[in-house]
């Protein structure tokens, strides 16, 4: 007997589950849908009908849900917030966002890795993008920067080569999100101009602890233009209020397994908790005379202007206080363009910047599919915008009238003549540009080694050891020996000692130095370049993992949590099981299970264990690893005396960072660099 259709199960989520407040489910064209669980069939068990327009629309849309990912900076995390001017600069720039103290401008910021795909991990060794869209009263200004102040190459024409070399190798499709392979080191060893940025990327700057703890730099030189039209060169800087902090390489590598989304989650969680990330915004103002007196060309993006020569002036702050509502609509669809500039700011002739002015606009067409990408809500200016560009795919505006050309005299007949150019609009600052047409690299760009050397000399010994070890690690993944040799030859021009350490680390003989294009000069060191010299001891933004188990003392855990929170940190409880664990009194559930919450996820750890539990956990590799790695990653370890069996099993030797629980909130504000010699052989 045929089944009665009305008796068939409807599946979950049918009409029956609707509440009064539910929005009506419709097709894309507004037709109310009665069943979102079953396709239209010829008979209860028969074939699906082509007629099923509801099914077809749903699958059709799904099939096209992905858009091409960014060729670089594909993996990113973003947030909304505001910029506030704290020290107006009308004498330097007529930009409205810098005009008045207290003036606030809405921003959207996207942080990113460079080399990996959109689904890759957050903590590889890489440069990080730091792109800010300011929705100003006079249009969007996009400051599309990085967390490293210099760039690998001097001329935009080398960008495709650089990126091809660092991305996964063309034939094999690996490695993903890693520079440790033949083609990258082949390219950089043949292009000594990359040396300065290579040094930064190989230093701890390449493995930031959090997006909230990174500097940001505009990298390219720009100009500020005041109301009279006078110009000065400018470099833009972001300085995080939490200070800069980095991971340890072993930690960042392990995090790639434990939490792919380590940085994305950290940013999201902080904002959800109302712990809003904040940066100071500073400028380096460089007039022509100062620019002429600098040892390097202001137009060369492989150089910094040391802040000891031109100090930073803080003129604003940025607060990120709202997470995206939709990852795709905002993070994926946001389109940053260095060519998005506002009156009062202008471009310099930096040949890298000049190439960028073309690339970003062009890439949006292939990524977002239409010249109308500026109408997507995340990209649309918050101020009114109007011009006579018309039509195109996905035009969502409905311009009225027939004034789609200029000039026109339609207003003389009483018709709307459309938008007109105003003399107060953006004007390129006049500049003398006479010269021969040439395809060359200027002589003033020739010195590739003085600044890498200055960078190296500015680091602490411990940071130098990290950097040397990072190069050893990367070159050890390079299969072609002649590439390693060429790199060693180049490193000799940075520092003989560095080159020797890398050679020793690889068990290779140091080859002769390569010949630099220009003789390097000695530069003063700069403490601002070192992370450790700038370390701000604070618990703010840092997370403490508290390991407990059966029988632990509830009051101790609560007291410790409160103390951590009082200092601005976050406490996260970890236990072998997440459900209710029996404590000395009552029971408590953990935030994370031990096997899934290794100590790499925390800045410090606490052990609140009974003697029995410590003895039991001393037989458990996850618990031993928890403590062993916290120790090897130079973290503070707070513990009750009863935890001794586990500490001993993990090989922990008492030092300044191993403390009673009462001292943990203070101890957890730093890493214990002096411990490193005991736990790791560095180059
Ligand atoms: Fe980019 N870069 N870039 N870049 N870049 C892109 O634009 C490019 C450079 C930076 O979160 C692309 O929309 C060229 C320097 C960031 O959406 C692309 C050159 C700096 C982001 C592009 C450079 C950056 C990008 C890919 C050499 C630091 C991510 C997707 C002339 C100042 C923005 C896109 C986001 C993205 C081209 C060099 C930073 C292909 C040709 C220098 C932060 O257009």
Measured at the CA of 425, the angle between CA 421 and CA 428, to 5 degrees, comes to 110
Q: Report the separation in Å between the CA atom of 167 and the middle of ligand 1, taken as the mean of its atom positions.
A: 14
Q: Does 427 appear as a known binding residue?
A: no
Q: 363 in ligand 1 pocket by Cβ < 6 Å?
A: yes
**Tokens 């380096």, located at residue:** 284
Q: Is the CB of 149 under 6 A from ligand 1?
A: no
Q: b or e along 199-220 (b: 16 or more beta carbons within 10 Å of the residue's beta carbon)?
A: bbbbbbbbbbbbbbbbbbbbbb
Give the position of tokens 């660099």: 673
Contact yes or no for 237/219 (Cβ under 8 A)? no
Question: What is the whole-number distance in angstroms between the Cα of residue 139 and the centre of ligand 1?
Answer: 20
Q: Across the strands, what pairs with 286?
A: 233
Atom of ligand 1 nearest to the CA of 355: 31
Query: Which is more confidently placed, 9 or 361?
Result: 361
Cα of 643 from ligand 1 centre, angstroms: 50
The average pLDDT across 484-502 equals 98
Q: Is 137 exposed, middle or buried (0-12, 13-18, 19+ CB in 10 A)?
A: middle
Give the pLDDT of residue 22.
Answer: 80
3-state class of 73 per DSSP? coil
Assess whether the C-beta atom of 72 lies below 6 angstroms from ligand 1: yes
556 lines ligand 1 (CB under 6 A): no
pLDDT of residue 630: 98
Q: Are strands 76-85 and 313-322 parallel, antiparallel or unpaired?
A: antiparallel
Which of 129, 145, 167, 351 should be mutated for ligand 1, with most atoms under 8 A from CB?
Answer: 129
| HEC string for 604-616 | EEEEECCHHHHHH
Active-site hit among 140, 146, 220, 372: 146
356 lines ligand 1 (CB under 6 A): yes
Residue closest to 637 by CA, chosen among 670, 615, 611, 591: 670
CA neighbours within 13 Å on the CB side: how many for 659? 17
* The predicted structure's pLDDT at residue 525: 98
Tell me: pLDDT of 9 over 60.
no
pLDDT-derived band at 128, boundaries 50, 70, 90: very high
Asked whether residue 198 carries a pLDDT value surpassing 80, the answer given is: yes
pLDDT of 5 over the 70 cut: no
- What is the location of CATH 3.40.50.880 in the chain? 543-679
For ligand 1, is residue 70 a contact (CB within 6 Å)? yes
Mean pLDDT (the chain) is 96
Nearest protein CA to atom 14 of ligand 1, as residue: 356
How far is residue 500 from each of residues 67, 298, 495, measured CA to CA in Å?
Answer: 47, 32, 9
Is 408 among the catalytic positions? no
Phi first, then psi: give them for residue 631, nearest 5 degrees. Answer: -70, -50
pLDDT tens across 423-472, in order? 999 999 999 999 999 999 999 999 999 999 999 999 999 999 999 999 99
Taken in order 450, 452, 453, 458, the sign of the CA dihedral is positive
Q: How far apart are CA 557 and CA 588, in angstroms?
A: 10
Stated length of the chain: 683
The pLDDT value recorded for residue 18 is 57
- Cβ contacts of residue 397 below 8 Å, gap of 6+? 375
Q: In this predicted structure, what is the pLDDT of residue 342?
A: 98
Distance set, CA 125 to CA 179, 203, 247, 467 (Å):
8, 9, 10, 11
Q: Look at residue 455 and give its three-state secondary structure.
A: helix
- Using DSSP, state whether 594 is helix, strand or coil: helix
The predicted structure's pLDDT at residue 13: 43
Among protein residues, the one whose CA lies closest to atom 8 of ligand 1: 356
Token output for 63 = 């099939």
Phi-psi region for residue 364, left (φ > 0), alpha (ψ -120 to 50) or beta?
alpha
| Burial environment of residue 446 by CB neighbours within 10 A (0 to 12, 13 to 18, 19 or more) | middle
> Dihedrals φ, ψ of 554, to 5°?
-55, -45
Binding site membership of 133 for ligand 1 (Cβ less than 6 Å): no
Strand partners, 48: 41
Q: For residue 384, what are its two tokens? A: 């009114």
Distance between Cα 498 and ligand 1 center (Å): 31
pLDDT at position 4 is 53
Residue 12 has pLDDT above 50, yes or no: no
* Tens digit of each residue's pLDDT (9 = 90 or more) over 450-464: 999 999 999 999 999
Q: Is the pLDDT of residue 386 over 90?
A: yes
Closest Cα to atom 12 of ligand 1: 360
- Report the percentage of the chain scoring pLDDT > 90: 96
The pLDDT value recorded for residue 52 is 97
Enter the tokens of residue 141.
């200004």
Q: Is 146 designated active site?
A: yes
**Shortest-distance Cα residue to atom 42 of ligand 1:** 151
C-alpha 176/C-alpha 261 separation (Å) is 16
Q: Flag whether pLDDT at 649 surpasses 60.
A: yes
240-287: pLDDT as tens digits: 999 999 999 999 999 999 999 999 999 999 999 999 999 999 999 999
543-679 maps to which CATH number?
3.40.50.880
The answer to whether residue 21 scores a pLDDT higher than 90 is: no
3-state helix, strand and coil shares in percent for the chain, rounded to the nearest 5? 35, 15, 50
Query: 114: CA distance to ligand 1 center in Å?
Result: 9
110 is known to lie in a ligand binding site: yes
In this structure, are residues 636 and 668 in contact, taking their beta carbons and an 8 Å threshold?
A: yes
Distance 146 CA to ligand 1 centre (A): 9
Is 360 annotated as a binding-site member?
A: yes
Please tell me the distance from the alpha carbon of residue 81 to that of residue 96, in angstroms, as a whole number: 18
The single-letter DSSP state of residue 114 is: S
Q: Which long-range contacts (CB under 8 A, 24 or more apart) does 96-99 make?
A: 96/136, 96/137, 96/138, 96/342, 96/343, 96/344, 97/134, 97/136, 97/137, 97/141, 97/316, 97/342, 98/315, 98/316, 98/344
Q: Which residues contact 662 (CB under 8 A, 6 or more apart)?
A: none
Residue with tokens 């007196």: 293
Q: What was the pLDDT predicted at 1? A: 41
Question: Does the C-beta of 167 come closer than 6 Å to ligand 1?
Answer: no
Is residue 300 pLDDT above 60, yes or no? yes
pLDDT greater than 70 at residue 47: yes
Class of domain 76-149+216-375: mainly beta
> Where in the chain are all domains bearing CATH 2.40.180.10?
76-149+216-375
Residue 3's pLDDT band (cuts 50, 70, 90): very low
Beta bridge partners, 280, equal: 239, 317
Strand 216-217 relative to strand 313-322, pairing: unpaired
- Report yes or no: 646 and 432 within 8 Å, Cβ to Cβ: no
Ordered alpha helix ranges (H), 521-573: 554-566
By the 8 A CB rule, do 117 and 166 touch? no
Provide the pLDDT confidence category of residue 57 given band limits of 50, 70 and 90: very high
Could you tell me if the CB of 219 is within 6 A of ligand 1? yes
Structure tokens at 186: 């082949």
- Residue 102 to residue 108: CA distance in whole angstroms: 19
Pick the catalytic residue: 12, 28, 38, 73?
Answer: 73
pLDDT at 637 over 50: yes
* Strand 658-660 with 636-639, pairing: parallel
The pair phi, psi for residue 213, each rounded to 5°, is -120, 40
CB 318 within 8 A of CB 132: yes
Protein residue closest via CA to atom 28 of ligand 1: 145
CA 621, 627, 113, 178 torsion-angle sign: negative
What 8-state DSSP symbol labels residue 641?
G
pLDDT digits (tens, 9 = 90+) for 403-420: 999 999 999 999 999 999
The kind and range of the H/E element at 234 are: strand 231-240
Coil, helix or strand at residue 181: coil
């Amino acid at each position: 007997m045929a089944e009665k259709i009305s008796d068939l199960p409807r599946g979950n989520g049918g009409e029956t589950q609707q509440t009064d407040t539910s929005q009506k489910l419709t097709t894309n064209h507004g037709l109310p849908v009665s069943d979102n669980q079953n396709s239209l069939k010829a008979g209860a068990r028969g074939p699906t009908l082509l007629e099923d327009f509801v099914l077809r629309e749903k699958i059709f849309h799904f099939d096209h849900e992905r858009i091409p990912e960014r060729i670089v900076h594909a993996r990113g995390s973003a947030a909304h917030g505001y910029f506030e001017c704290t020290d107006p600069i009308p004498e330097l720039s007529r930009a409205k966002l810098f005009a008045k103290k207290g003036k606030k401008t809405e921003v959207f910021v996207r942080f990113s890795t460079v080399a990996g795909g959109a689904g890759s991990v957050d903590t590889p060794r890489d440069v990080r993008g730091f792109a800010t869209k300011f929705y100003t009263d006079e249009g969007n200004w996009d400051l599309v920067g990085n967390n490293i102040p210099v760039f690998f190459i001097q001329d935009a024409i080398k960008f495709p080569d650089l990126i091809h070399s660092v991305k996964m190798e063309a034939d094999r499709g690996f490695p993903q999100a890693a520079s440790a392979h033949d083609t990258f080191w082949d390219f950089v060893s043949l292009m000594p101009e990359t040396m300065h940025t290579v040094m930064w990327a190989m230093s701890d700057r390449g493995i930031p602890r959090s997006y909230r703890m990174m500097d940001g730099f505009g990298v390219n030189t720009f100009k500020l233009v005041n109301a009279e039209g006078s110009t000065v060169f400018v470099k833009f800087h972001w300085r995080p209020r939490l200070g800069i902090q980095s991971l340890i390489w072993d930690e960042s590598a392990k995090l790639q397994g434990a939490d792919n989304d380590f940085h994305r989650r950290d940013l999201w969680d902080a904002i959800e908790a109302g712990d809003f990330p904040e940066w100071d915004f500073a400028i380096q103002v460089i007039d022509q005379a100062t620019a002429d007196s600098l040892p390097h060309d202001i137009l060369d993006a492989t150089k910094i202007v040391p802040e000891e020569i031109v100090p930073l002036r803080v003129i604003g702050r940025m607060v990120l206080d709202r997470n995206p509502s939709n990852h795709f609509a905002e993070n994926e669809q946001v389109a940053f363009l260095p060519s998005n500039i506002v009156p009062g700011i202008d471009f310099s002739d930096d040949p890298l910047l000049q190439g960028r002015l073309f690339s970003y606009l062009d890439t949006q067409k292939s990524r977002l599919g239409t010249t109308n990408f500026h109408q997507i809500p995340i990209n649309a200016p918050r101020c009114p915008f109007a011009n006579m560009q018309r039509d195109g795919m996905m035009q969502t505006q409905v311009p009225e009238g027939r004034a789609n050309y200029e000039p026109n005299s339609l207003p003389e007949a009483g018709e709307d003549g459309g938008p007109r150019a105003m003399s107060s609009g953006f004007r390129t600052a006049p500049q003398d540009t006479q010269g021969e047409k040439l395809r060359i690299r200027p002589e003033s760009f020739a010195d590739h080694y003085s600044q890498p050397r200055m960078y190296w000399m500015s680091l602490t010994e411990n940071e130098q050891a990290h950097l040397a070890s990072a190069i050893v690690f990367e070159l050890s993944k390079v299969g072609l020996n002649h590439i390693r040799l060429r790199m060693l030859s180049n490193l000799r021009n940075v520092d003989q000692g560095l080159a020797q350490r890398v050679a020793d680390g690889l068990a290779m003989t140091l080859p002769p130095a390569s010949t630099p294009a220009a003789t390097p000069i000695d530069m003063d060191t700069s403490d601002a370049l070192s992370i450790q010299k700038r370390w701000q001891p604070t618990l703010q933004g840092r997370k403490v993992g508290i390991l407990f188990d059966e029988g632990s003392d509830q009051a101790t855990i609560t007291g410790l949590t409160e103390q951590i929170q009082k200092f601005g940190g976050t406490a996260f409880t970890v236990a072998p099981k997440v459900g209710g664990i029996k404590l000395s009194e009552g029971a408590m559930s953990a935030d994370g299970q031990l096997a899934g919450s290794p100590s790499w996820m925390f800045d410090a750890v606490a052990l609140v264990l009974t003697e029995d539990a410590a003895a039991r956990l001393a037989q458990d590799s996850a618990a031993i690893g928890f403590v062993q790695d916290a120790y090897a990653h130079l973290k503070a370890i707070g513990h009750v005396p009863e935890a001794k069996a586990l500490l001993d099993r993990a090989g922990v030797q008492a030092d300044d960072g191993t403390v009673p629980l009462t001292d943990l909130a203070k101890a957890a504000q730093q890493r214990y660099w002096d411990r490193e010699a005991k736990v790791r052989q560095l180059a």
